[in-house]
């Protein structure tokens, strides 16, 4: 995250906005990371009386301990670092207890790193006494596409980040950095999942959450093979200048866009302008490694539907 300016700047703007209210909170930073970027921004803008920084990855936690030790004493005193999952901390024994949460446990599909389950369990353990969550809203954008032709820039980024530089030939899912936009079959993407975190995670979690939508093809003629899926985040409700928005389809972030190929290399579906592509997206968010099912078909030809199931942040 530290090297991703789009993501870091959006979080910094949300924190800066909170600082303008002349208020301070007791923050919980879930998944603080090796360099604790969000914790340090909270300290920088003077919005934290105290920060509980929680990191379950052992190596990242050990590095974060070293980072904390080299901070000025005034900053160090405000940071309580825990090497475990947030649900494993006895929050009733902490004084003061957190009343605000910040995190960046958002995946390429916004919920695939277990954000919903983690937030649900953490807020329950805090007896619901949380007045603010950053980010404010997370979602996953969906765009029907033809089989993409990977550019040199995308190939280079994929090589640097150790992901595949070739497009799968059969039904499957893979990550693509800076995917080609000429594969789009429509002008605008749609959300297939969207959560206002502060509200949604207080409810019982859905064992089978289903979302249905349809796209109208805008290209004159094309071959449809699948979908791009990408995260969309608002770190603050106030996005009047666009500074708190992270759009994984428009911006080149360190999140790869997920390309879900619904039809194999020689099974593309011919579509034309005005054709309807129907989509059903199902998810089980009761686990920290969610399960997903994506189903799609053209017009009413349900017998030629294609579906793909995967678990967590899978890349094949």
Q: What is the pLDDT of residues 40-98, one digit of tens each?
A: 999 999 999 999 999 999 999 999 999 999 999 999 999 999 999 998 999 999 999 99
Delineate the domains of the chain, giving CATH numbers in brackets.
5-104 (3.40.50.150), 139-193+201-231+250-311 (2.70.160.11)
Q: Which residues of the chain have pLDDT under 50?
A: 315-316
Strand partners, 213: 279
pLDDT at 316: 36
Query: Token pair 């011919």 is at which residue?
Result: 270
For residues 282 and 310, the answer to whether their CB atoms sit within 8 Å is: no
Using alpha carbons, select from 47, 6, 54, 44 the residue that is nearest to residue 26: 47
Q: How far apart are CA 255 and CA 258, in angstroms?
A: 9
pLDDT at 146: 95
Q: How far apart are CA 79 and CA 82, in angstroms?
A: 10
Q: How far apart are CA 179 and CA 262, in angstroms?
A: 17
pLDDT at 254: 87
pLDDT at 207: 87
């Amino acid at each position: 995250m530290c090297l991703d300016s789009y993501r870091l700047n959006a979080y910094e703007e949300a924190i800066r906005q909170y600082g303008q209210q002349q208020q301070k909170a007791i923050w919980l930073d879930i998944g603080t990371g090796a360099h604790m970027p969000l914790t340090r921004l909270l300290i920088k803008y003077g919005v934290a009386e105290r920060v509980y920084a929680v990191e379950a990855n052992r190596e990242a936690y050990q590095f974060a301990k070293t980072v904390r030790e080299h901070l000025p004493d005034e900053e160090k005193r405000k940071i309580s670092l825990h090497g475990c999952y947030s649900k494993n901390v006895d929050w009733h024994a902490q004084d003061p207890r957190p009343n605000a949460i910040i995190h960046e446990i958002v995946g390429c599909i916004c919920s695939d790193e277990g954000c919903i389950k983690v937030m649900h369990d953490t807020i329950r353990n805090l007896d619901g006494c949380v007045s603010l969550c950053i980010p404010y809203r997370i979602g996953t954008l969906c765009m029907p596409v033809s089989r993409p032709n990977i550019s040199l820039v995308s190939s280079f980024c994929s090589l640097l980040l150790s992901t595949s530089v070739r497009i799968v030939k059969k039904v499957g899912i893979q990550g693509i950095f800076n995917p080609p936009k000429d594969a789009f079959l429509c002008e605008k993407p749609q959300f297939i999942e969207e959560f206002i975190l502060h509200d949604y995670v207080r409810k019982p979690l859905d064992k089978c959450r289903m979302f249905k939508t349809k796209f109208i093809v805008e290209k004159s003629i094309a071959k449809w093979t699948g979908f791009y899926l990408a995260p969309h985040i608002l770190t603050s409700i106030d996005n009047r200048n666009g500074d708190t928005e992270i759009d994984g389809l428009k911006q080149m972030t360190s999140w790869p866009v997920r390309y879900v190929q619904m039809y194999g290399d020689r099974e593309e579906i011919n579509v034309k302008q005005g054709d309807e592509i129907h989509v059903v997206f199902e998810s089980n968010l009761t686990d920290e490694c969610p399960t997903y099912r994506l189903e799609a078909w053209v017009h009413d030809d349900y017998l030629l539907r294609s579906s793909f199931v995967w678990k967590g942040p899978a890349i094949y």
